[in-house]
Structure 1
Amino acid sequence: MDLQLTGKKVLVTGGTRGIGRAIVEGFLAEGAVVGFCARNAEEVGAVERALAERGEVTGAVVDVGDADTLRGWVQDSAAAMGGLDIVVANVSALAIPDTPENWELSLTVDIMHTVRLVEAAMPHLEASDSACIIAISSVSGREADFASGPYGTAKTAIIGYIQGLALQVAEKGIRANTVSPGNTYFEGGVWEGIEEGNPDLYSMALGLNPTGQMGRPEEVADPVVFVASPRASRISGANILVDGALTRGIQF
């Protein structure tokens, strides 16, 4: 299936590892022009070099918690690429422990980075004939689990924000959706750390999934790329679960 993404201009926050990097690779594989950001300059450069032969890709060093820097990156990227068609808010602080600091961090990084990315990109998306906004939430935003608290609450708020946004921008021809992954394992990721530091929690989480395994980043990225593509033109205001049947509640 041709996803009709050739030449589409895409921005992804947090594109150096895990789900974010897989999303960048997925869009490149479909012929899109991709810009991504992350905080670590060395990692940004390494990924940019590694993916250069796969298509048009540009990395930037951005702390998405800094409003001015985030807005500047969006504007500079749109100018360099000649517009924007798709934005993916992927960065999370992964602030799970219930502390005052983590509540502040989750608000700034998870929620406000999503809102500010959308606000900065909106004028460019309004000029696109196939505009789409994707925010990465989590199954922890859909039901109570061990990550309820700062992280889970922020992810719930993102789903609510995007659902309302989809209604507001539909008349402009812009779509907005969330994708909610279940437990996703990759080198250097949170679940590798839990596996090493809290094996009981890791075993419990693994046992809850009826597939008997955690997901891979590319298994999340592929639905993101499809939902963002013009082939999914009627999907808006949806929360797409990518969790291997982990969550039990019926989603209305």
Structure 2
Amino acid sequence: MDLGLKGRRVLITGGTKGIGRSCAEVFAAEGADVAICARDAAGVTETVDALKAKGVNAFGNGVDVADKAALEQWVSASADALGGIDIVVANVSALAVADDEAAWEAGFAVDMMHSVRLVNAAMPYLEKSDAASITLVSSVSGREIDFTGPAYGAFKAALVHYAQGQAVKLAPQGIRANTVSPGNTYFEDGIWQNIEENMPELFAEAMSLNPMGRMAGPDEIARGVVFLASPASSFTTGTNLVIDGALTKGVQL
């Protein structure tokens, strides 16, 4: 299937590892030009070089997405580098899973407000695109109560609500907005590798809840993100795509 991504301009926050890096690689493999950001400037440089090696235009900056001015500057610079913006993917999470006020503050600043600010900053460019889409990475923790802290799940649920509202608001302009809710996703230097090495009992408990007997790889999540964001999914908006290997038990109606 041709996803219609060749020559499209894509912005991804948190694009140096895990789901974000896999998204960047899949978009590039489909012929899209890609801009990324992450706090690790060296990782951004390495990732941009790897994307360019796929024959596409790529751009990136080291950015703390909780910094409003820095995030907006990156969006503007990315639009200049790529010649516009067709697709944005808000992927960064603070992963604030503790049950304290610091987790609420971090989740609001990073998970919630970076997504809102990314959309707002990109909107003047998306309004000029004939295939504009917004995809926010949520979590199955936003669908049900699990062992993560209350702030993490609450903000992931809020992202789904925000995207649904944007979908309705922006539909007359042809701008789509969706979310993807991954289940447990394992990758090098990710949270689940850290839990496996430092909290083996919790890791074993989490694994036991996965009916497929394993966690997702970031590429498995990325392929869903890329399809949902692509012109091939042109009539899909206001949807929350759950990719969790049947981890969650609730029926999504």
Output the TM-score relative to the length of structure 2.
0.98
**1:14 alignment partner AA:** G
Q: Give the 5 Å matches for 1:116-135.
A: 116-135=117-136
Q: Deviations over 1:81-123 (max 9, x none)?
A: 1111000000000010111111101000000000000000011
SS of residue matched to 2:212: coil
1:223: which partner in 2?
224
**1:13 alignment partner AA:** T
SS of residue matched to 2:53: helix
SS of residue matched to 2:241: strand
Quote the offset at 1:200 in angstroms: 1.0
SS of residue matched to 1:220: helix
Q: Distance between the aligned counterparts of 1:76 and 1:188, measured in 2? A: 29
Q: Distance between the aligned counterparts of 1:231 and 1:148, measured in 2? A: 36
1:204: which partner in 2?
205
2:38: which partner in 1?
38
Moved over 4 A (4+): none
Q: Distance between the aligned counterparts of 1:31 and 1:153, measured in 2? A: 36
Q: Give the 5 Å matches for 1:15-26.
A: 15-26=15-26
Q: Does 1:236 align with 2:237?
A: yes
Output the TM-score relative to the length of structure 1.
0.98
Q: Give the 5 Å matches for 1:165-204.
A: 165-204=166-205
1:48: which partner in 2?
48
SS of residue matched to 1:83: coil
Quote the offset at 1:168 in angstroms: 0.4
SS of residue matched to 1:245: coil
Q: Distance between the aligned counterparts of 2:15 and 2:179, measured in 1? A: 17
Q: Distance between the aligned counterparts of 1:142 and 1:166, measured in 2? A: 19
Q: Distance between the aligned counterparts of 1:16 and 1:30, measured in 2? A: 18
| Cα distance change on mapping 1:62 and 1:94 into 2, 3 Å | same
Q: Deviations over 1:165-197 (max 9, x none)?
A: 110000010000000000000010000011111
Q: Distance between the aligned counterparts of 1:83 and 1:94, measured in 2? A: 30
Quote the offset at 1:7 in angstroms: 0.2
- Mapped contact 1:96–1:147 kept (Cα < 8 A): yes
Quote the offset at 1:36 in angstroms: 0.3
Identical residues among aligned pairs (%)? 55
Q: Give the 5 Å matches for 1:105-144.
A: 105-144=106-145
Q: Give the 5 Å matches for 1:147-162.
A: 147-162=148-163
Q: Unaligned 5+ residue runs, structure 1? A: none
Q: Distance between the aligned counterparts of 1:20 and 1:231, measured in 2? A: 20
Q: Unaligned 5+ residue runs, structure 2? A: none
Quote the offset at 1:80 in angstroms: 2.1
SS of residue matched to 2:202: helix
- Mapped contact 1:140–1:148 kept (Cα < 8 A): no
Quote the offset at 1:51 in angstroms: 2.7
1:11: which partner in 2?
11
Alignment: residue pair count: 252
Quote the offset at 1:74 in angstroms: 0.6
SS of residue matched to 1:227: helix
**1:32 alignment partner AA:** A
Q: Distance between the aligned counterparts of 2:50 and 2:135, measured in 1? A: 25
**1:163 alignment partner AA:** Q
- Mapped contact 2:96–2:149 kept (Cα < 8 A): no
Q: Deviations over 1:216-241 (max 9, x none)?
A: 00000001111111110111000000
- Mapped contact 2:23–2:222 kept (Cα < 8 A): yes
Q: Does 1:98 align with 2:77?
A: no
Please identify, of 73-82 and 187-196, the stretch whose mean Cα deviation from structure 2 is larger. 73-82
Please give the root-mean-square deviation of Cα atoms over the aligned residues, in Å: 0.8
Please identify, of 206-215 and 148-157, the stretch whose mean Cα deviation from structure 2 is larger. 148-157
